[in-house]
Amino acid sequence: MDGKPTNGNLPGGKTEEETVETNEDGKTEGVITEDVIPEDVIPEDVIPEDVIPEDVIPEDVIPEDVIPEDVKAEDEKPEEAKPEDDFGKMFAESIENPDEGEIIHGVVIKILKEYVAININRKSEGMLPLTDLTEEEMQTLSPGDPIDVMVERYDSSQGFVLLSREKVIRVRVWDELQKAHEEGSAVQATIVAKVKGGFTADIAGIKAFLPGSQVDIRPVRDNDSVIGLEGKFKVLKISRKKANVVVSRRSYLEEERETQRKVLLDSVREGDEVVARVKNITDYGVFMDLGGLDGLMHITDMGYGKIVHPSHVCKVGDTLKVKVIRFDRERGRISLGLKQMRPDPWLDIEERYQVEEKLTGRVTNITRYGAFIELEEGVEGLLHVSEMSWSKRLKDPSEIMKPGETVDVQVLKLEKENKKISLGYKQLLPNPWDELKTAHPEGTVVEGVVKNITDFGAFVDIGEEIDGLVHISDLSWNQRVKHPGELLKKGDRIEAKVLKIDPPAHKFSLGIKHLTTDPWEGVERRFKKGDSVSGKITRVADFGVFVELADSVEGLVHVSELSREKVDSPSSLFKEGDEVGAVVLSVDRNNKKISLSIRAFQDGMDRKDLESYLSPNSEPPEETTTAFGEALRAKLNINED
């Protein structure tokens, strides 16, 4: 690199004549440029005018103060004469050191670890960093391949010319953008980011501004949905000097839409099957682009089954084959359908499904009253919560199954007209009620643990799938229990008798008091109407008093039967624990009621005292004579006197 060309030879052993080549148009081109060698050294007709166009290198690539004075435009060169002996030196320098910013047609020599060696028709080789190549170029580039590069600078310490591929591409992209703007053609771009007022679009490495109003024909509500969108864009404005480009996707779409719209309006008919692209998704349906016309596919036309949201069926950008179900040519409105692309599965439902048939389905939705099971696309059945378990009273069907699970069910009822299928789950499971009746017949005694206590009774776990209920009325024959907690507590181990098993009603009744004999058994023989009885008052109420008779049987003395005198409050005459005598007025074995009368008992005692007093053989009355008898006797004695 220290020597200078001699005998008219250039680096690489070529002569000046060899460096000038003729292209297909008959023009000559070479590596010696007009602005480097003075015009009086190389004739004008040797160097073609189009070797280095003025607009190849943008102004912002190489600052004006960096460009050597001798490569500026002719009108900027100072008109001064140069000595003849300096021409050779200038010629040699131009060969060894190409100008910064110059675009050179080179050839790949070798691919190194970090660089690609390029033959640039200079004494020094050019070195292109591998990082400056695109992925495609790195994979396909090989020795001997032609490549256009731009001179960055001459590295004297390394002895090579540093080249750039990226800047060549940028120059060409700017040329294409300028041409597209002038001709009104479209360029390929990708929306890469959201910025204030719009988006940034990438055009082969050049960043362009895309106003928000120019993204689509319709307003874009979801900005994230357009990030990454590729397509054609029109160049609205370009400033190469300021590196400013404004593009519009909307202008291109409107132009294409109008062209395609004319074709579609003349060709589309109801019933046609067309291919459309999902353009936008709403809660009620999907807007689709037919290529010039927009159509709406309502959510009810997306499938025969229940669709929670259109996004569960498709997403923006999907291409679907749909059917034109309605077309308003005057208003340009098209209704599309996806489910119409296949027959309605309910038309022959009775041929494919039979009552009591076992099926397998997928749980699609859980509600408080049951679960919806998808048997096939477009066919769902309802599994009611009452058909999920034989024994459990479920509050939430999710206790048994979850959405997305696969379950076996049985067809209970089929309504083709209403498009309804009733399903059962428990029917495929063993019925514990049948097993319960076999294992524990009515009348047998079982042992269990009190599992839960309520106001109306206690639930007892006897070790089966079904819990038994001891009703509050079946706790005791004679004790009036206000709450089961008075006699039982959770965790108590008890014995009880099976009273009734009713599978249809899901009732398993137990009784504790039934472990002993019913004191009311034969009560009508022990307490007959008119009998005088005695007992202890157990309760005093506003309407009377309860008297405990023999064998833990209670009778009621109504307030009207307490005394011959009117009684306003039973508590004014009696209290709990008082011993009283009474007469049996009636006995109701079925309702376990005995009516008593203290007044009748007193009347009976008074009659006996009177009869005993009037009898000639009677003995003096005992001290237990009633007040009525004493008063009567006192009255008789007065009359005798």
Model confidence at 220, pLDDT cuts 50, 70, 90, reads confident
Query: What are phi and psi for residue 162, nearest 5 degrees?
Result: -80, 125
Asked if residues 541 and 573 have their Cβ atoms less than 8 Å apart, the reply is no
For residue range 100-138, what is the model confidence (pLDDT) as tens digits? Answer: 777 888 888 888 888 888 888 877 788 888 888 877 788
Tokens representing 535 are 């007992």
Share of the chain above pLDDT 90, in %: 26
Please say if the pLDDT value at position 271 is more than 70.
Answer: yes
How many Å apart are CA 297 and CA 318, to the nearest integer? 13
How many Å apart are CA 340 and CA 278, to the nearest integer? 17
Please say if the pLDDT value at position 365 is more than 80.
Answer: yes
Asked if residues 286 and 327 have their Cβ atoms less than 8 Å apart, the reply is no
Q: What is the pLDDT of residue 284?
A: 92
Please say if the pLDDT value at position 154 is more than 90.
Answer: no
Q: What is the pLDDT of residue 89?
A: 55
Please say if the pLDDT value at position 25 is more than 60.
Answer: no
Q: What is the pLDDT of residue 544?
A: 92
For residue range 510-526, what is the model confidence (pLDDT) as tens digits? Answer: 999 888 887 777 788 88
Please say if the pLDDT value at position 350 is more than 80.
Answer: yes
Residue 415 exposed, middle or buried by CB count within 10 Å (0-12, 13-18, 19+): exposed
Residue 113 exposed, middle or buried by CB count within 10 Å (0-12, 13-18, 19+): exposed
How many Å apart are CA 527 and CA 101, to the nearest integer? 130
- Report helix, strand and coil shares of the chain as percent, to nearest 5: 25, 35, 40
Tell me the average pLDDT across 495-521: 86
Q: Who's near 29: CB < 8 A, 6+ residues apart?
A: 20, 21, 22, 23, 48, 51
Return the higher-pLDDT residue of 466 and 97.
Answer: 466
Q: What is the pLDDT of residue 75?
A: 44
Helix (H) / strand (E) containing 598: helix 598-614
Q: Tally Cβ neighbours within 10 Å of residue 89.
A: 10
Tell me the average pLDDT across 435-447: 87
Model confidence at 159, pLDDT cuts 50, 70, 90, reads confident
Q: Is 102 helix (H, G, I), strand (E, B) or coil?
A: coil
Residue 496's closest CA among 457, 458, 470?
470
Q: Where are the alpha helices (DSSP H) in 127-248?
A: 135-140, 166-183
Q: What is the pLDDT of residue 210?
A: 93
Please say if the pLDDT value at position 5 is more than 60.
Answer: no
Residue 507 exposed, middle or buried by CB count within 10 Å (0-12, 13-18, 19+): middle
Distances (CA, A) of 189 to 204, 220, 249, 340: 7, 18, 9, 37
Asked if residues 216 and 253 have their Cβ atoms less than 8 Å apart, the reply is yes
Q: Who's near 355: CB < 8 A, 6+ residues apart?
A: 411, 412, 413, 414
Q: Who's near 19: CB < 8 A, 6+ residues apart?
A: 10, 30, 31, 32, 121
Q: What is the pLDDT of residue 175?
A: 86
How many Å apart are CA 475 and CA 496, to the nearest integer? 10
Q: Is 565 helix (H, G, I), strand (E, B) or coil?
A: coil
How many Å apart are CA 344 and CA 295, to the nearest integer? 22
Q: What is the pLDDT of residue 3?
A: 39
Residue 16's closest CA among 1, 2, 28?
28
For residue range 66-96, what is the model confidence (pLDDT) as tens digits? Answer: 444 443 444 444 455 455 556 655 555 555 6
How many Å apart are CA 460 and CA 493, to the nearest integer? 9
User: Tokens 């179900």 — which residue?
Assistant: 325
Tell me the average pLDDT across 500-506: 83
Q: DSSP for 110-125, please give it.
A: EE-SSEEEEE-SSSSP
Give me the residues paired with residue 164 across strands.
150
The rounded mean pLDDT for the chain is 79
Asked if residues 286 and 297 have their Cβ atoms less than 8 Å apart, the reply is yes
Q: What is the pLDDT of residue 357?
A: 92
Angle at 158 between CA 153 and CA 163, to 5 degrees: 35
Q: Is 329 helix (H, G, I), strand (E, B) or coil?
A: coil
How many Å apart are CA 92 and CA 183, to the nearest integer? 43
Angle at 213 between CA 207 and CA 215, to 5 degrees: 55
Q: What is the pLDDT of residue 627?
A: 46
Q: Tally Cβ neighbours within 10 Å of residue 462.
A: 19
Return the higher-pLDDT residue of 328 and 421.
Answer: 421
Return the higher-pLDDT residue of 288 and 378.
Answer: 288
Query: Which residue type is seen at 501?
Result: I
Tell me the average pLDDT across 35-41: 41
Return the higher-pLDDT residue of 152 and 43.
Answer: 152
Please say if the pLDDT value at position 540 is more than 50.
Answer: yes
Please say if the pLDDT value at position 287 is more than 50.
Answer: yes
Asked if residues 285 and 278 have their Cβ atoms less than 8 Å apart, the reply is no
Q: Is 402 helix (H, G, I), strand (E, B) or coil?
A: coil
For residue range 560-615, what is the model confidence (pLDDT) as tens digits? Answer: 988 888 888 898 889 988 899 999 999 888 888 889 998 888 888 878 777 777 77
